[in-house]
Structure 1
Amino acid sequence: MKILVTAFDPFGGEATNPALEAVKLLPEKIAQHEITKLEIPTVFHKSADKIDEILKENKYDVVLAIGQAGGRYHLTPERIGINIDDARIPDNENNQPIDVPIQSDGAAAYFSNLPVKKMTQAIKDAGIPASLSNTAGTFVCNHILYQLGYLQATQYPDIQFGFIHVPYIPEQVVDKPDKPSMALSSIVTGLEAAIRAISKDSNDIKEPLGEIQ
C-alpha cells in the first residue's frame, strides 16, 4: 500500500515539533507499505489544501497525519474529527462568539476508517505506551482529521485516513517540569508499529478500548 504520512511544522513558539521529527525518521518502506512524507503548516485550511494538492497529483491508499499533543503521556490514535475550528464570530442574537463550522456542507463529524484499535494495540505490543483517543482537540489537529474525512467523503472514496497524536520530546519539557515527554526513538517505534497494522481490509479488532474518564 502507498501511505502518505504528514506532520505539522513547529507551532506555538516551539522550536521543534516531535511529530515532524519522528516522521522524518520513518523508513521509506514499512512492512508492505511504501511511505511518502509530507510537512504541512499548522494553519487551518492551508494544511488540508496542501494534502489535497498531493492527492490530486498522486494516488495513495492511506493518508495518516501525525501531530503533537503536549501534555499527553502516550501515542494516541484518534477515532473522530469534529466539525468545529478555532475561528469564532459574534452571534447575531447574543453578541457572543460562536464556533464556525470547518465545512458548511460537511458532516458533523467523520470517523477514521483505519483500524484504530488494532493500531493502538500494535503500538502497545511494541512496548510503547498508547491509548485510543476520542478527542483530537479543537485546534488544527482535529481540523486536519476532519478535513481528511471530508476529502474521503467528497473526492477520494477509496482512501483510508487517520491521525495519531504524539507527546512532547524531552528537550521540549526542560522548562515545563509538569509536562510528560517521550523519547523520539520511542515515538518512531510506535508509529512504525501502527503503520504495520494498517491493511487494505481495514478490519479492526473487537476489543473495548474506551476509558471511564
Structure 2
Amino acid sequence: MGGGDRALPRGAPDRARLGRVAPEPRGRARPGGPARGGGRAPARGRAPARRALSYTGPAVILVTGFEPFGGHTLNPSEGLAKAVDGRRVGAHAVQGLVLPVHHAEAWAALAPVLEATAPAAVVHLGLAAGRARVGLERVALNVMDYEVADNAGFRAAGEPCVPGGPAAYLATLPLDELRRALTAEGIPAYVSNSAGTYLCNQTLYRTLHAVRELARPPRVGFVHFPLLPAMVAASGLEQPSMDFPLMLRAVEVILAVLAR
C-alpha cells in the first residue's frame, strides 16, 4: 500500500511555524518539556511566553501512520490511520495522516497539519517487527541512527533529530491508563522505554519539541504495533504477529481514553 492520499486539511499553511522553533537554551531543557511560561514578554534569562494557535474548529485527535518500508509491502500503521480518519469520538474529530518514511519529508508533511488543526492529542502509530504486544512509548531520544535506510535511501548514523535540542522528551499521553484500558479489553500491551532510533522515534521527538512552546500543548505519544500475520507468512520467519481487527480495536480504545 502507498501513502499517496496524504491530503492536508483545507487552509493548511505552506510553511508551518511549528517547524521553525528555535532550539532550547542550554541548561533549560528537561525531558517532557520546559517550565511553563507566563503571558508577559519574557525578561532576560526567562523562558519565552507560550503562544496559542488560531484554530477554532472542533477538537481534533490526530492519528498518524507510516508507509511500508524496509522491504515490507505492508505497514499496519498506514491502514490504522486510514481506518480512523474522519471518525468522531465523543466531542473530538479524528484526523488520520499517513507519513512518508523519509528523514525530512515526514516532518514536512506533519508540521503543517499540527499548525492547521491545533490537535488536543497526537497519536503516532508505527510498526515494530519482533514485538508481540502493543508498545506505548515512554520516551523520545534526540538521535537518529537508522538500522535500515529510509525510503529515499538515506541512513542516519548518530545524528540529532533537532540540533541543539534536549537529549530526550517524555511522551505526554497517559501511558499507564492506556495500558490498563487495553489489557482490560484483552489486548496485550505494555509501556516501552525505547522507541528505537528510526523515523518513529524521530517523529515523536520532533512533535514533542515543536509543541513545547504552545499555550495548550497537545498530549503526544507513539504506539508501536507488531507485524501482521500476512507479513510473518511472507517472511517465513518465527516472529510474533497481531491481526488487524485487534490492532484497530487497540486504537479505538486509545482514542476513547483520550476523548474523555
Query: How would you bin the TM-score normalised by the shorter chain?
Result: 0.7 to 0.9
1:75 maps to 2:131 = no
Q: Shift of the alpha carbon at 1:59?
A: 2.2
CA contact (8 A) 2:82 2:98 kept: no
Helix, strand or coil at the partner of 1:137:
coil
Select the structure of larger CA radius of gyration.
2
Question: Offset of 1:104 from its aligned partner?
Answer: 1.4
Aligned-residue RMSD, C-alpha: 2.1
Of 62, 66, 70, 1:4 maps to 62
- Paired residue type of 1:33: H
Partner of residue 173 from structure 1, selected from 232, 235, 238: 232
How many pairs align?
A: 192
- The DSSP-based 3-state class of the residue aligned with 1:35 is strand
CA distance in 2, matches of 1:8, 1:156: 29
How far is 1:99 from its partner?
1.4
- TM-aligned CA deviation for residue 30 of structure 1: 2.6
Displacement of 1:186 after TM fit? 0.3
Of 236, 241, 246, which aligns to 1:186?
Answer: 246
Shift of 1:53: 1.1
The verdict on how the C-alpha distance between 1:64 and 1:156 changes in structure 2, with shifts beyond 3 A counting, is: farther
2:193 aligned with 1:153: no
| Residue 72 of structure 2 corresponds to residue 14 of structure 1 | yes
Contact 2:60 2:117 in 1 (8 A): no
How far apart in 1 are the matches of 2:197 and 2:210? Answer: 19
- Taking a change above 3 Å as real, the CA distance of residues 63 and 101 of structure 1, as seen in their structure-2 partners, is same
Structure 1: segments with no counterpart, 5+ residues? 88-96, 201-213
**Is the CA contact 1:67–1:166 (under 8 Å) kept in the aligned structure 2?**
yes
Per-residue CA deviations over 1:13-63 (Å, capped at 9, x if unaligned) read 111101111222226123443100001011223212211111222221111
State the SS of the aligned residue for 1:132.
strand
1:122 aligns with 2:181: yes
Partner Cα separation in structure 2 for residue 129 and residue 44 of structure 1: 31
Counterpart contact for 2:137–2:193, Cα < 8 Å: yes
For 1:35 and 1:126, the matched residues in 2 are separated by 21
Q: Which moved more, 1:43-52 or 1:136-145?
A: 43-52
- Identity of matched residues, %: 29
Conserved in 1, the CA contact under 8 Å of 2:145 and 2:157? no
The answer to whether the 8 A contact 2:89-2:259 is kept is no
Aligned mates of 1:72, 1:98 — CA distance in 2? 24
Aligned-residue offset at 1:122: 1.1
CA distance in 1, matches of 2:236, 2:250: 24
- 1:3-152 to structure 2, matched below 5 A, reads 3-26=61-84, 28-86=87-145, 99-152=158-211
SS of 1:99's equivalent in the other structure is: strand
Q: State how far apart, in whole Å, the 1-side matches of 2:104 and 2:157 are.
A: 19
Distance of 1:199 and 1:22 partners within structure 2 = 18
Rounded to whole Å, the distance in 2 between the matches of 1:157 and 1:99 is 32
Unaligned runs of 5+ in 2: 1-58, 147-155
Match of 2:6 in 1: none
- Which TM-score applies when normalising by structure 1? 0.83
Distance in 1 between residues matched to 2:71 and 2:221, nearest whole Å: 26
Say if 2:84 and 2:95, in contact at 8 Å, map to a contact too. no
Letter in 1 for 2:117: N
Deviation at 1:131, TM superposition (A): 0.5
Higher relative contact order, chain-length normalized (CA < 8 Å, sep 6+)? 1
